[in-house]
Chain A
Amino acid sequence: MNIIPTKLASDAYALSAAIVILLCLSTSVAADDHAPIVPGYQRFAEVEEFTNADHGQLLLNELNCMSCHQGESSWSMKPKQAPILTDVGSRVFPEHFARFISDPHTSKPGTTMPNVLAGKSDREKSEIAETIAHFLASSGEASKQGVSAAAIQQGEKLYHEIGCVACHDPQNKDVHIETSIPLGDLGTKYTVSGLTNFIKNPLHVRPSGRMPQFNLDATEASRIAAYLLRNAVVVSKTNFAYYEGSWEQLPDFDQLKPKSTGISNGFDLLVGDKKDNFGVVYTGYWITTKNAKYKFRLGSDDGSRLIIDGQTIVTNDGIHGMQFKEANQVRITSGTHEVRIEFFDKGGGKELEVQVFGDGLDGVGLQTLMQTTKQPPASDKDAFVLDPEKAVAGKLHFQDLGCASCHEMKVDGAVLNSTAVAAKPIKEVNVEVGCLSGAQDAPQFGLTDHQVKCLTAAIKRLKNPPPGPVNPGQVIHEKLLTLNCYACHNRETNDSILGGVVDVTGDSYEIFGRKEWFTGTQIEMGDEGQHPPALKSAGAKLNPQWLSKVLNEGIKSRPYMLTRMPKFGGKNVFGELVDELIAVDKLGQPINVTQSEPERKVKAHGRFLAGEEALSCIKCHTFGKFKATGVQSIDLTTMTQRLSKDWFQAYMLKPSKFRRGTRMPESWPGGKSYYPDMLDGDADKQIDALWKYLADGEGAAKPKGLVRAKFEIKAVDRPMIYRNFIKGAGARAIGVAYPQQSNIAFDAENCRMAILWQENFIDASRHWTGRGQGFEAPLGENILQLHDGIVFSSQPVTDQWPSKFSVDERPKFKGYRFDKLRQPIFKYVVGDVTIEDQPLPDVVNDKPFIKRKMRFSSAGSKTISYLAAVGNAIEINGTVIKVGDDYSTKLTNVKEIKLIKQGGQKAAIAIIDLSSGFAEVEQSYLW
């Protein structure tokens, strides 16, 4: 099928403008709020180039018409199988069934489930629906559970990040997008564990892959479930007793007096004042009507213990990071059980999680099963009570109404068959009667007129199929459309481009409106880092094994992209989409390269090309566990594992040919090499060398520049200055190394001496390699970090050093000049006092130390206060200030040294007399 006639090309602009107007005026194809939503149909329904029969064919499949009307559709994708209902009673609340069956379109607008009771009287309707509800409910028991507030919060983030919003409406913004598959009222439908299990593996009950599997772990799935059920579930509560103390092991809490007690949200660790050195005991009751075996996993940082009915189930004691301990299976009988969890934290991270497995629970948090009192939950007089007689009647209705034609349902291990009157084969369907006619006795799908028109056209075409084989490009399109791949990916072929988060013209942003939920961690990569990759030539790009793996298992090759590629289920994609993509996307003539040098030398060239002296691939791509020096793009060591060699050869020559707007540069511009002397200067041979080198994966010799070389700055015959981001001295730090082996870092923002140290000065490689992110710490030894903040005050100071300084009171840095030995003399101004401050290397007992000469000149102020030292313990001994065991400093020529406070610490301030207009103070440090 020629999807888009190319003649439109020159009129593209005018056409799109005209359609904007049309869109505003015409009524939408989905004007009926209750009509079934099929994303591929919604997305392209008004595109005239897709015939009505194409749309209809998609609808025939997605409405599963052929489960009643025998026959083959012309669509290359198998019809969507209705949800498998075996065990449905254990995941869905019984109240949901009757409501949904009696009127699916009101209960869940947009559902593809037909109303099979439309022709019945209201009384019959409710009676039949009720009996089917009892039948379905008899397949399991759905129980209410709580969720933790933290899980709801984390679930919200996951839901909006990993790709749920590619097909469903966002929940954190009041937006409805018409291509969105409705979620319905999940809160009254699903149990927490039911929805968790569904999200974790949707293919289990919906094998057709329309809802793909995101390879979530149990915790992630339960968090998303908790979030989606947030309006219906109760946030679990437990009793807590909070203790303070510093322990290495769990203490005997019964011997201690709690600081506070109360009711917390689940296992909330921050119930007390302290963030370190505390313990909490959580207690509550687990009331169950079941009698089953459970397995418990207890995870904590630091120690914890789980006790049920006075019996220790599992202990995870000691100081450690988050780690899990698993208990042997335990039988929990029907009744009330006392649950106690003990926990303590000494420092660092803190976490606590208790997971329960067994009897339909798959890692749910124990707190969600607990309540704070022994009082059994108030019994609901309207609560559903299973009536076995109604269930038997319901089973018959399930079979004779045709439910069993669509829904697989096993009872006692056998699939129920349908006893409904056989519908006409699809090719013989008369659209004037039956489902499409609006006849009351036929299943009602709530179709729009346009949908009916499309279905009619499709049925007509099935009766007279067009001759000739199906175009493989069309097969790919049908599959991408059916699985809604177009929601995330665009696919460009010779004459069209379809789908994607945004249209390449950019014009569809407002219409799709999903862009803001496609995010990433490397913003500088732009859309490339946030939007799933374009599928242009995908069948040529990925090697067949990897392509199968991606489609069959889902994959996460791009750690910076938060949207995940899910798994669509092997039988839905494997051997069909894979083969077609490979056939259609095949590149032209493969490039055959014959190298004249031995392989080890060829690889050495490849290594050179990847490194910083050549193409610098490592600037933007990670290399195994090594970070790139710029943005952190896809791992180089996985390239040959993922890609086809032919495509790699072609892509490297001209990346923009395959990836529109990519930041990947053309490294052989016009096919020409920068390295005419390497491998005959032949681009193909050089790319082949790169490939062969990368094929060694993480085992390859590291490219040059990956591990940064040290640039130690040394003061040999004169002092050396290093102005940069120095850890402990701020963003405006000035480091000075003296040839005498002592070093200082001056903080020019606050005009203070920040760090003193000995021996090696600094390693500049952090700042002189790559982009130079971050703060570098001193390299040497005996590193003395002095107090932070502003250290001069021209205002009088009483017993507390000011915590705030106005803009005028702040010191102003004026730079430095050098003396004859090129030792810098810093200058700064505080109010009307100018200070020249010269650190000088000093030697005491053959060890390098530092002294400072400070010259003050005042234009009026009579004194100035200087915060000379800060510490927990300060002793003033004449002119010497001793700061605990840390260091001592001596000041000469000051009027007075006083002990005051700074914040919660002690401080020594020196009052400098400026009545003569000048003062010269010397301060020496011994540390």
Chain B
Amino acid sequence: MIIKNLSSAFLLSFILAATSFALPGMADAKQNEKAMEAQSKYYQIVTVPTPKDVVLEVGAIEFMPDGRMLASSRRGDIYTFHDPLRSDAENIKSTLFMDGLHEVLGLAYREGSIYATQRGEVTRLADEDGDGLADVCETISDKWGINGDYHEYAFGSKFDSEGNIWVTLCLTGSFTSPNKYRGWCVRVAPDGTTTPTCSGIRSPGGMGINVDGEVFYTDNQGPWNGTCGLKWLRKGSFQGNPSGNSWYDETDAIGPRPKDPQSGSRIMAEAKKIPQLEPTAIFFPYKKMGQSASGIACDTSDGKFGPFKNQMFVCDQTFSTVMRVDLEKVNGHYQGACFPFTEGFGSGNLVVEQASNGMMFVGGTNRGWGSRGKKGFSLERLQWTGVTPFEVLNMKAKPDGFELTFTKPVDVESAGNIESYKMPTYTYIYQESYGSPEVDHVDCKITKAVVSPNGMSVRLYVDKLHEGHVHELHLDGVRSKEDEPLWHAEAYYTLNYVPESESSRRNQ
């Protein structure tokens, strides 16, 4: 093999915009304070008291039909929170339900029992004598291997519509799969039937079910993950990291082993060659949106949590944030946009779950992985104040651009001006080594911005869409009809597939 001489401006093709070394000083700090002030106008973070002297490193949350809430911890405890929605949150009481478990990262309620996903198994817990403490701890499934590596986490979902818990299994050391089904997702039925469902997982951070009943998980930057992402666990799919694919030898549940992807390629180039490969639905650009994506919740409260009906909310552990995600299905695959949402949580967010009244409960810890929130652990309520922020509500791909809808009518002049928008795009190297920089930068030129008659949406036309690229939209110039700026003036759309136009569909 001969490797060509590196030469030419190829190496130099990455040209930097001249950046000055001005230090972020008071101006930034003020901006930051202003952002937090704006946030509290729309959403409030309220501390939920945790039991005295207990380190509750929240790993999972579940609500019981009677209104109680359970929160598990990485230390293996589960506590019952009584009346968790009461307005005077400081008076919420909690009692022990179970202890001595192994790193509980999933809780799901079904027919009087709680199903906890521990490191080594899915376990049914029940309080048969009604004293508040679980007295049954039944192993439902332990059909996967663990060998004592701390990275061998198991994240469990809620029950899906068919009554299964989905469990994503982190790779050993987050790199290899010496033990059965590391790097896979399995479905566990209450009778213990365990079905391998997806391969290709690296290091999951949380699980959630969307409004269609489809199961998603977050996977973190590392080998084969250029950055963190939200991924759709389509049954039978390969999620992109081939380290655990030797286990196809042990099961025919999802068909034959897919072809190994080529390192150094791009994910959409490989998706064309590997039909099982499910491209990451949403990339969370590293350090722009966060650094470790984790828990997932879907807003099914029908407006009780604000205007973002049926959208997904995803935590970032490092940034101590909750991000917002708007998905759509194009060519049979989920993709869409992520938006900054709320920040300033107490610790490293691992979990977000929505209560019946729309409140989101957010909990987590920064043990082992640092976070902006400096507390060792935290449990908080995120509550909508009832004030609607001016935000991009949806961002949908069109064959020749995007359609944006807003939470409030826009100012026609600024929203119709193409100068109000900027849209750089880039993607990630799909490779075996750790992470990827943003690559293949190319700017989308906005050619036209057409405001709808009711002022609630804007149709953006661009010179060219770039398949497989994150389209990073900046709309700092857009004002609402009341002349407010956007609460968050950026969005990141992962354009895996460009929708076909009506006419080209008809022609086929």
Q: Which of A12, A47, A768 contacts B8 (CB 8 A)?
A: A47
Q: Which of B111-138 contact A (CB under 8 A)?
A: 118, 120-121, 123-124, 133, 135-138
Least distance between A201 CB and chain B CB atoms (Å): 31
B175's closest neighbor in chain A, by CB? A523
Least distance between A793 CB and chain B CB atoms (Å): 21
Pairwise interchain contact B148-A775, C-beta atoms closer than 8 A? yes
B12 at interface (Cβ–Cβ under 8 A)?
Answer: yes
List A residues at the B interface (Cβ < 8 Å): 3-4, 6, 8-10, 12-13, 15-16, 19-20, 22-23, 28-30, 42-49, 174-179, 492, 494-498, 503-513, 515, 523-527, 537, 587-588, 591, 612-616, 619-620, 629-630, 650, 653-654, 656-657, 660-661, 663, 665, 669-672, 674, 683, 720-725, 730-732, 734, 748, 764, 768-775, 813-818, 822, 824, 827
Pairwise interchain contact B434-A732, C-beta atoms closer than 8 A? no
CB neighbours of B318 from chain A (8 A): 665
B434's closest neighbor in chain A, by CB? A526
Q: Which of B69-101 contact A (CB under 8 A)?
A: 75-76, 99-101
Task: Give B130-160 as 1s and 0s: 1 = Cβ < 8 Å from A's Cβ atoms.
Answer: 0001011111001000111111100000000
Pairwise interchain contact A49-B9, C-beta atoms closer than 8 A? yes
Q: Is the interface of B mostly helix, strand, loop or mixed?
A: loop
With A670-B31, A723-B76, A771-B367 known, 11 other A-B pairs at CB within 8 A are A4-B9, A15-B13, A19-B8, A43-B6, A178-B4, A495-B15, A496-B15, A525-B434, A587-B21, A817-B135, A818-B137
Report how far A663 CA is from B435 CA in the complex, Å: 11
Q: Which of B133, B175, B264, B440 contacts A13 (CB 8 A)?
A: B440
Pairwise interchain contact A6-B15, C-beta atoms closer than 8 A? yes
Report how far A630 CA is from B10 CA in the complex, Å: 37
B432's closest neighbor in chain A, by CB? A516
CB neighbours of A29 from chain B (8 A): 5, 7
CB neighbours of A748 from chain B (8 A): 120, 139, 142
Least distance between A689 CB and chain B CB atoms (Å): 16
Q: Which of A13, A498, A775 contacts B442 (CB 8 A)?
A: A13
CB neighbours of A505 from chain B (8 A): 13-14, 437, 439-441
Pairwise interchain contact A504-B142, C-beta atoms closer than 8 A? no
Pairwise interchain contact B21-A650, C-beta atoms closer than 8 A? yes
14 contacts between A and B (CB under 8 A): A12-B13, A12-B441, A13-B440, A16-B9, A45-B7, A511-B4, A512-B3, A523-B175, A524-B434, A527-B435, A723-B101, A770-B368, A813-B121, A824-B137
- Contacts known (A4-B15, A505-B440, A732-B120); A523 close to B434, Cβ less than 8 A: yes
B151's closest neighbor in chain A, by CB? A771
Pairwise interchain contact B435-A513, C-beta atoms closer than 8 A? no
Least distance between B239 CB and chain A CB atoms (Å): 20
Report how far A177 CA is from B76 CA in the complex, Å: 53
Pairwise interchain contact A723-B100, C-beta atoms closer than 8 A? yes
Report how far A279 CA is from B76 CA in the complex, Å: 52
Least distance between A838 CB and chain B CB atoms (Å): 14
Least distance between B95 CB and chain A CB atoms (Å): 15
- Contacts known (A30-B5, A591-B23); A507 close to B10, Cβ less than 8 A: yes
- Contacts known (A496-B15, A509-B264); A653 close to B3, Cβ less than 8 A: no
CB neighbours of B100 from chain A (8 A): 720-723, 734
CB neighbours of B434 from chain A (8 A): 523-527
Report how far A448 CA is from B305 CA in the complex, Å: 71
CB neighbours of B294 from chain A (8 A): none
Least distance between B149 CB and chain A CB atoms (Å): 8
Report how far A657 CA is from B21 CA in the complex, Å: 8
Report how far A19 CA is from B4 CA in the complex, Å: 13
Pairwise interchain contact B6-A179, C-beta atoms closer than 8 A? yes
- Contacts known (A506-B439, A511-B10, A817-B135); A725 close to B15, Cβ less than 8 A: no
Most A C-beta atoms less than 10 A away, residue of B28, B102, B287, B372: B102
Q: Which of B1-46 contact A (CB under 8 A)?
A: 1-19, 21-26, 28-29, 31-33
Least distance between B501 CB and chain A CB atoms (Å): 25
B174 at interface (Cβ–Cβ under 8 A)?
Answer: yes
Report how far A477 CA is from B168 CA in the complex, Å: 49
Report how far A193 CA is from B152 CA in the complex, Å: 49
Pairwise interchain contact B118-A619, C-beta atoms closer than 8 A? no
B374 at interface (Cβ–Cβ under 8 A)?
Answer: yes
Most B C-beta atoms less than 10 A away, residue of A44, A505, A771: A505
Pairwise interchain contact B139-A653, C-beta atoms closer than 8 A? no
B343's closest neighbor in chain A, by CB? A669
Pairwise interchain contact A12-B15, C-beta atoms closer than 8 A? yes
Report how far A545 CA is from B25 CA in the complex, Å: 29
B5's closest neighbor in chain A, by CB? A178
Least distance between A337 CB and chain B CB atoms (Å): 49
B429 at interface (Cβ–Cβ under 8 A)?
Answer: yes
Report how far A496 CA is from B9 CA in the complex, Å: 11
A674's closest neighbor in chain B, by CB? B374
Report how far A500 CA is from B502 CA in the complex, Å: 47
B385 at interface (Cβ–Cβ under 8 A)?
Answer: no
B286 at interface (Cβ–Cβ under 8 A)?
Answer: yes
Least distance between A674 CB and chain B CB atoms (Å): 5
Q: Which of A496, A613, A734, A774 contacts B16 (CB 8 A)?
A: A496
B118's closest neighbor in chain A, by CB? A723
Pairwise interchain contact A815-B8, C-beta atoms closer than 8 A? no
Q: Which of B362-402 contact A (CB under 8 A)?
A: 366-370, 372, 374, 376
Pairwise interchain contact B374-A613, C-beta atoms closer than 8 A? yes
Report how far A20 CA is from B372 CA in the complex, Å: 42
Least distance between B13 CB and chain A CB atoms (Å): 4
B443 at interface (Cβ–Cβ under 8 A)?
Answer: yes
Pairwise interchain contact A665-B291, C-beta atoms closer than 8 A? yes
- Contacts known (A505-B440, A587-B21, A724-B102); A496 close to B12, Cβ less than 8 A: yes
Least distance between A704 CB and chain B CB atoms (Å): 11
Least distance between A588 CB and chain B CB atoms (Å): 5
Q: Which of B23, B75, B76, B437 contacts A650 (CB 8 A)?
A: B23
Least distance between A50 CB and chain B CB atoms (Å): 10
Report how far A174 CA is from B441 CA in the complex, Å: 33
Report how far A824 CA is from B23 CA in the complex, Å: 60
Least distance between B407 CB and chain A CB atoms (Å): 25
Least distance between B59 CB and chain A CB atoms (Å): 13
Least distance between A176 CB and chain B CB atoms (Å): 5
- Contacts known (A614-B374, A620-B370, A775-B148); A661 close to B5, Cβ less than 8 A: no
CB neighbours of B222 from chain A (8 A): 524, 526
- Contacts known (A175-B1, A178-B5, A616-B370); A494 close to B18, Cβ less than 8 A: yes
Q: Which of B7, B18, B142 contacts A813 (CB 8 A)?
A: B142
CB neighbours of B124 from chain A (8 A): 815
CB neighbours of B175 from chain A (8 A): 523
CB neighbours of A672 from chain B (8 A): 28-29, 32-33
Pairwise interchain contact B4-A815, C-beta atoms closer than 8 A? no
CB neighbours of B414 from chain A (8 A): none
Q: Which of B168-191 contact A (CB under 8 A)?
A: 174-175
Report how far A867 CA is from B12 CA in the complex, Å: 70
CB neighbours of A822 from chain B (8 A): 133, 135
B374's closest neighbor in chain A, by CB? A674
Report how far A144 CA is from B2 CA in the complex, Å: 34
B433 at interface (Cβ–Cβ under 8 A)?
Answer: yes
Q: Which of A630, A654, A813, A827 contacts B369 (CB 8 A)?
A: A630
CB neighbours of A537 from chain B (8 A): 21
B241 at interface (Cβ–Cβ under 8 A)?
Answer: no
Report how far A771 CA is from B360 CA in the complex, Å: 27
Pairwise interchain contact A814-B441, C-beta atoms closer than 8 A? no
Pairwise interchain contact A772-B368, C-beta atoms closer than 8 A? yes
Pairwise interchain contact B3-A178, C-beta atoms closer than 8 A? yes
Pairwise interchain contact A6-B3, C-beta atoms closer than 8 A? no
Least distance between A832 CB and chain B CB atoms (Å): 16
Pairwise interchain contact B9-A19, C-beta atoms closer than 8 A? yes
B237 at interface (Cβ–Cβ under 8 A)?
Answer: no
Report how far A774 CA is from B148 CA in the complex, Å: 6
Pairwise interchain contact B1-A48, C-beta atoms closer than 8 A? no
Pairwise interchain contact B5-A507, C-beta atoms closer than 8 A? no
Least distance between A614 CB and chain B CB atoms (Å): 6
Least distance between A819 CB and chain B CB atoms (Å): 9
